[in-house]
Amino acid sequence: MAHAVVATEYGAPSTLSIVEVEVPAPEAGKVTVAVKAAGLNPYDWKVFTGLYGTDPAKLPLRVGNEAAGVVTAISDGASTEFGPVSVGDEVVISNAGGLLATEVNVRTRSLTPKPAGVTFEQAAGLLLAGTTAWDLVEHANPKPGDTVVVHGASGGVGFIAAQLAVAKGARVLGTASARHSDALTAIGVEPVLYGDGLQERLSALAPSGIASAMDAVGTQEALDASIALVEKARIFTVAAEPDQAAELGITRLPAADSNAIRSASGKPLLDLVAAGKLRVVISDIFPLSEVSAAYDLVKSGHAGGKVIVTL
């Protein structure tokens, strides 16, 4: 028997429980993975607290949308776009649900090989935020010498987006709280405090203008400052509500082409981390028994990096 995290009712992280689940032999197109680490994301708690609906028919709800582990069983001819899959392979799982469990059956198309130089914890925390960040940067398309702003640059999405934009030669202004200023400076980002006067601070730092805004926060303040300083067609958000973004005339991602962009970015992101060219900042690592505390930290909105659960 495996152990899995479930929400038996919609509510706070404290209502999550760990239950025993059976993991049958994988059917065609699937493999069994022994999960070593799972990455936690704001999307998870938005679902299990009921922010996206409280349909009782969906309970009990399995939790967790990204993980890394070792393949323990395969179906006949299991393979991915990266080649055949074998027992013992170290893999990253994305685009799948219910991954906060000691063992899971997942479709082979959800797998990306984990490079040896990337830890299970880094790999588990990279792809959901990383592919979102890649999508933001592809759309914003910063050019060498451009000044751009990343709102929420100390968060899971923002920290990767900021590094990718720096790598493209842009000057990156990254909004965050004061306690994350040093971490941003270390990756070549100019930290800018959010809060009252944000627009004025940004404008003083970029008197010639800001080429694009990448928003991973969605606060009214971040949206207002972006609209005041950046051409609307060059503002991209992953955090504002879709209706709000449409009303403001800015682009909410995912967009029509995001699926293709995100699916193609998993392997390059892992390779960048393996090559030491991209940092995954891990804020904290919790054992499975402390999953509720782990989600409390994610839900605070100020984790300052990825929150990981080891299994």
Residues in contact with ligand NAP by CB under 6 A are 41-43, 128-129, 132, 152, 154-158, 176-177, 180, 194, 216-219, 222, 238-239, 253-254, 301-304
From the list 20, 6, 2, 1, the residue with the least C-alpha distance to 291 is: 6
The minimum distance between CB 278 and ligand NAP, in angstroms, equals 15
Cβ neighbourhood burial of 89 (10 Å; 0-12, 13-18, 19+): buried
Nearer to ligand NAP, 87 or 178 (CB): 178
Nearer to ligand NAP, 41 or 102 (CB): 41
Nearer to ligand NAP, 118 or 149 (CB): 149
Instruction: Give CA separation, 163 vs 72, 181, 242, 263, in Å.
Output: 35, 14, 26, 19
The SS3 call for residue 249 is coil
The minimum distance between CB 83 and ligand NAP, in angstroms, equals 28
The minimum distance between CB 156 and ligand NAP, in angstroms, equals 3
Q: How many other C-beta atoms lie within 10 A of the C-beta of residue 8? A: 12
Nearer to ligand NAP, 29 or 218 (CB): 218
Phi then psi for 73, rounded to 5 degrees? -155, 145
**Helices and strands in the chain, H and E counts:** 11, 18
Nearer to ligand NAP, 23 or 187 (CB): 187
Q: β-strands 83-84, 79-80: how paired?
A: antiparallel
The minimum distance between CB 118 and ligand NAP, in angstroms, equals 19
Q: For the chain, give the longest Cα–Cα distance.
A: 61
Residue of minimal CB distance from ligand NAP? 155
Nearer to ligand NAP, 147 or 258 (CB): 258
The minimum distance between CB 269 and ligand NAP, in angstroms, equals 14
Q: How far is 276 from 310, CA to CA, in rounded Å? A: 23
Q: What angle do helix axes 266-274 and 127-140 make, rounded to 10 degrees? A: 110
The minimum distance between CB 191 and ligand NAP, in angstroms, equals 9
Q: How many other C-beta atoms lie within 10 A of the C-beta of residue 279? A: 16
Nearer to ligand NAP, 46 or 58 (CB): 46
From the list 299, 229, 268, 310, the residue with the least C-alpha distance to 49 is: 299
The minimum distance between CB 248 and ligand NAP, in angstroms, equals 15
The SS3 call for residue 236 is strand
Beta bridge partners of 4: 19, 101
Q: How far is 54 from 50, CA to CA, in rounded Å? A: 5
The minimum distance between CB 78 and ligand NAP, in angstroms, equals 28
Nearer to ligand NAP, 75 or 141 (CB): 141
Which residue bears the tokens 């797998």?
111
